[in-house]
Amino acid sequence: MEQLPITIQLKTIPSDPGVYQYFDKNNTVIYVGKAKNLKRRVTSYFTKVHDNAKTRILVKKIHRMEHIVVPTEVDALLLENNLIKKYRPRYNILLKDDKTYPWICIKKNPFPQVVSTRKLIRDGSEYFGPYPNVKTVYTLIELIKDIYPFLNHELNHLTKENDINKVHKLFEDNKTSIRHLINGNFKTSIDKLQIQMKKHASNLEFEEANTIKLKLDSLKNYQSKSTVVNSKITNLDVFSIISDESYAYVNFFQVAFGSIIRSHTLEIKKKLEETEAEILPIAIVELRQRFNSQSKEICIPFEVGLGPKIKVTIPKLGEKKKLLDLSQRNAKFFRMERFKQMKIVNPERHIKRLMNQLKTDLHLKEEPTHIECFDNSNIQGTNPTAACVVFRNGKPFKKDYRHFKIKTVEGPDDFASMEEVVHRRYKRLSEEGHSLPQLIVIDGGKGQLSSAVKSLDRLGLREQIAIIGIAKRLEEIYYPGDSIPMYLNKKSETLKVIQQLRNEAHRFGLKLHRNIRSKNALKSRLDQIEGIGPKTKEKLLKRFKSFKRIKAASNKEITGLLGGVKGVKIFQKLQEL
């Protein structure tokens, strides 16, 4: 995959939360950072004047960058921590020590404990987190101990074996509830605390009631789980794939000890019409070899043949499904960025790909490099007009836009109006020897489309030009002779091009309609006034510019312009309107 300049990457980076990595010319990670808004944060490195000498040196050494999109800012914080611990970048100082974010641990000890720890020890204990806020950890542990007071006991205070057994039984009875509470499912516990708070309040024990309220309030910012870190997931490779007609994009997450330690997206150019099921196993082998992955388990979206030595998981729910969804999200973002970058550095390739996508999605015989779209403007049955806009290579070609005043149709009749303008447009193009479009888009449903098709049939052009209609309500795409519409993906580029055509035709047509209606309204209102002829009208418009200003003019202004007798008469008539 070609390495694009930083300036191009800055134009296409998303505005989502995530983590960014800077590499030097030796392909070494020199800085890892997090951001609530990746675009804003990364751009600031290259557009601001930095007072800090370390930052200025860092920016000079950046040769390329990568980023990983995550669901939330908290996920970005945790992922940043993981990557800094792995790569130990030269320009990251604060997090390169051995400290990490704390976890909550239910210890597998002879005596029950719920404690905070910064180290994960594989001794059978349960770990929850990590937590970016230490205060949250202590608040949560304190809350658990308040609800389950037996956890406050220490072993040396329990002298009798019966007391120890009693604590063990209480712990086993409540272990599931404690686990739910740590995981954020603490409705039952909150209900219990609220009962306690109300009881304290009713007994006028306001200090105790307020203490419980503060503990409940402190948990509003509590986030118990992270998509990017989960202690239950050990070594795992996650792969996802998305593709279009020409390219496939395979994202790879390498997970070690519950943390994402690497993300990479591979762009693969298709040679033939390979399916995703054919491409994915080849990409998996390539990526695992490239990054020397020894994981015994991989997580993928569908079944592929990889041999008996590797455990294949296709998750439908749970933490692994979240990781797979996050991987696919990163593949989609990568694809969108590549499209935007391609549009900047290689517009011909972008146009070729877009035309091919339109051809495929709309089932056309040829690429629609020339598209025309028609829209009627008929507001309250007056001044009917129509517009034709032209797109060449997916972009507006305003030089060829055309307005039409409806000539043969009486009253508001969208179907007849559409039939008239389509006939006039292509009769003229044919007679003058101009090129015809590969695709016509009609703004409207089956009725307007059928009317346009009638005109093409009369001109003998039906087989030469593809034609579709788009209905506004649900963006249905209609084809001639087919009563069942087609629905395009709401995020597809094809639908966006059609919507842009439709919106441009509507805008262009409405502009003419309003101009005509405004002129007609002005003309008719002045013509209603006895004594105003062409010369008087010209005088009034030249002086006051609009009917509104003419009507608002004083008697002195009107008589000063038109003379005493005539001016008074016209002023009185204006007040009667």
The answer on pLDDT for 29 being more than 50 is: yes
Min mean pLDDT across 39-43, 221-225, 381-385 is at: 221-225
Residues 370 and 493 occupy one common structural domain: yes
Tokens of 364: 């056309």
Boundary-marking domain end, from 344, 376, 395: 344
Query: Where does 463-540 show beta strands of DSSP type E?
Result: 466-471, 476-478
64: in domain: yes
Tokens of 499: 């919507």
- Could you give the CA distance from residue 8 to residue 520 in angstroms, rounded to a whole number? 51
**Residue range 431-445, pLDDT digits in tens:** 888 889 999 999 888
What confidence score (pLDDT) does residue 223 get?
Answer: 42
What confidence score (pLDDT) does residue 257 get?
Answer: 67
98: in domain: no
Long-range contacts of 530-534 (CB under 8 A, 24+ apart): 530/569, 530/573, 531/566, 531/569, 531/570, 531/573, 532/570
> Is the backbone of residue 545 left (phi > 0), alpha (psi -120 to 50) or beta?
left
Residues 124 and 272 occupy one common structural domain: no
What does the pLDDT average to over 222-240?
68
- Could you give the CA distance from residue 287 to residue 564 in angstroms, rounded to a whole number? 93
- At 534, the pLDDT band (50, 70, 90 cuts) reads confident
94: in domain: no
Residues 185 and 304 occupy one common structural domain: no
The fraction of the chain above a pLDDT of 90, given in percent, is 7
Dihedral sign of CA atoms 533, 538, 543, 544 in order: positive
Identity of the residue numbered 230: N
What confidence score (pLDDT) does residue 133 get?
Answer: 60
- Could you give the CA distance from residue 327 to residue 265 in angstroms, rounded to a whole number? 9
What confidence score (pLDDT) does residue 136 get?
Answer: 66
Q: Closest by alpha carbon to 356, among 348, 346, 368?
A: 368
What confidence score (pLDDT) does residue 371 get?
Answer: 93
Question: Which CATH number fits the domain that encloses residue 79?
Answer: 3.40.1440.10
Residues 204 and 252 occupy one common structural domain: no
Residues 243 and 323 occupy one common structural domain: yes
What confidence score (pLDDT) does residue 441 get?
Answer: 92
- At 224, the pLDDT band (50, 70, 90 cuts) reads very low
**Residue range 489-516, pLDDT digits in tens:** 877 888 889 998 988 888 887 776 566 5
* Token pair 């800012």: residue: 73
Mean pLDDT of the chain: 80
Residues 304 and 440 occupy one common structural domain: no
CA atoms within 13 A on the CB side of 119: 4
Boundary-marking domain end, from 344, 370, 401: 344
What does the pLDDT average to over 220-244?
70
**Residue range 381-422, pLDDT digits in tens:** 556 778 899 999 888 998 889 888 878 877 667 788 888 889
What does the pLDDT average to over 303-312?
78
* Token pair 């309500």: residue: 473
Please, which residues have CB within 8 angstroms of residue 316's CB and are 6 or more apart in sequence?
none
Min mean pLDDT across 122-126, 224-228, 334-338, 383-387 is at: 224-228
**Residue range 145-181, pLDDT digits in tens:** 776 777 765 544 544 555 667 777 777 777 777 777 7
144: in domain: yes
Would you tell me how many other CB atoms lie within 10 Å of the CB of residue 395? 13
What does the pLDDT average to over 536-557?
81
Q: Tell me the residue range of the domain where 53 lies.
A: 6-87
Residues 78 and 115 occupy one common structural domain: no
The answer on pLDDT for 79 being more than 50 is: yes
What confidence score (pLDDT) does residue 290 get?
Answer: 82
Instruction: Looking at 238-275, list the stretches that DSSP marks H as alpha helix, in order from N- to C-terminal side.
Output: none
What does the pLDDT average to over 339-355?
80
Boundary-marking domain end, from 315, 344, 373: 344
- At 186, the pLDDT band (50, 70, 90 cuts) reads low
What does the pLDDT average to over 548-566?
83
Q: What is the DSSP letter of 229?
A: B
Residues 110 and 14 occupy one common structural domain: no
What confidence score (pLDDT) does residue 156 get?
Answer: 46
231: in domain: no
According to DSSP, the residues that pair with 252 across neighbouring strands are: 239, 264
Q: How many domains does the chain have?
A: 5
- Could you give the CA distance from residue 279 to residue 328 in angstroms, rounded to a whole number? 15
- Could you give the CA distance from residue 325 to residue 316 in angstroms, rounded to a whole number? 10
What confidence score (pLDDT) does residue 514 get?
Answer: 62
- Could you give the CA distance from residue 386 to residue 526 in angstroms, rounded to a whole number? 27
The fraction of the chain above a pLDDT of 70, given in percent, is 84
Residues 384 and 406 occupy one common structural domain: yes
What confidence score (pLDDT) does residue 394 get?
Answer: 87
The answer on pLDDT for 379 being more than 70 is: no
Please, which residues have CB within 8 angstroms of residue 158's CB and are 6 or more apart in sequence?
164, 167
Residues 203 and 124 occupy one common structural domain: yes
What does the pLDDT average to over 127-135?
68
Opening angle at CA 251, ends 250 and 252, nearest 5: 120
92: in domain: no
The answer on pLDDT for 61 being more than 80 is: yes
- pTM of full prediction above 0.75: no
The answer on pLDDT for 96 being more than 60 is: no
Residues 372 and 507 occupy one common structural domain: yes
Residues 509 and 370 occupy one common structural domain: yes
183: in domain: yes
Question: Which CATH number fits the domain that encloses residue 471?
Answer: 3.30.420.340
557: in domain: yes
